[in-house]
Amino acid sequence: MTSAPPGGTITIAGKTVSRLGFGTMRLTGPGIWGDPDDRHTALSVLRQAVHTHGISHIDTADAYGPHTVEHLIHDALYPYPEHVLIATKVGFQRPAPSQWKPLGDPFYLRACVEASLRRLKMERLELCYLHRFDPEVARDDQIAVLHSLQDEGKIGHIGLSKVTPLDMRYVLRHGDRPVAAVQNALNQTDRDDDAVVQLCATLNIPYVAYRPLNAGALAQTHGPRAPLHWLLAQGQHIAPIPATSQPRHLAEIVSAVQYSPG
């Protein structure tokens, strides 16, 4: 295991974790659908992320597969180390490979949370994101069911994904619960999220940056170091979650941030 958390540390959902997290979306078949071609390698990448490289923030979703990656996380890491935060997301339907449809029906969201608990073999999802707001369902209803699940002890902290400043202010204004984290796309190509980045900084909300390498495009020429350091420099509340399915690529990513200030 590495001597220091890669990228330094950050507190998310009440837990101090490595600022560099690991996004698990690529641990499936093509189109983020079905099982990976090499299940052994997928399990190995998860174990190496935690036990070799010291990553303690693992990000997933029930939609990855769907359900595939939550099963992989259980098989690779259970029983989960106390210092590791496993965050998942609910609120998407997957009709077919590469197809994603928001579904915020409260009964569906409740069923998703309870199914994730079973797949991950957890009593509580420490951090559960609403993967997307469903525009066809009242936002209050989508948040209310997550609050109910939180009251029941099935969710510890609630996060929001792919949100605007208006979404955030609406949730904060109409609810009495904090937003534990925001997860949006941010990288050197997709830079147009300054308003959410700044709002999160003002409110002391961790900003979890997905697609930090723009699906690998930003690392093709000179590697991952420059784009990841650019992200980390945007604020101490930024926590990138690069995704990969290959042990070699994972090692390169960790090495790129190993000496970044925490």
3-state secondary structure of 103: coil
Tokens of 91: 């609120």
CB 188 within 8 A of CB 197: no
Is 64 a residue of the active site? yes
Which position among 64, 129, 207, 210 bears the catalytic label? 64
> What's the CA gap between 231 and 211, in Å, rounded?
11
Closest CA to 142 of 164, 158, 123: 158
Q: Residue 254: in which H helix or E strand, if any?
A: helix 247-257
> What's the CA gap between 36 and 33, in Å, rounded?
8
139-151 helix and 165-174 helix, angle to the nearest 10 degrees = 60
> What's the CA gap between 215 and 254, in Å, rounded?
16
Half-sphere exposure of 79 (CA within 13 A, CB side): 2
Amino acid at the residue 9:
T
Residues in the chain: 262
Q: Which residues are catalytic?
A: 64
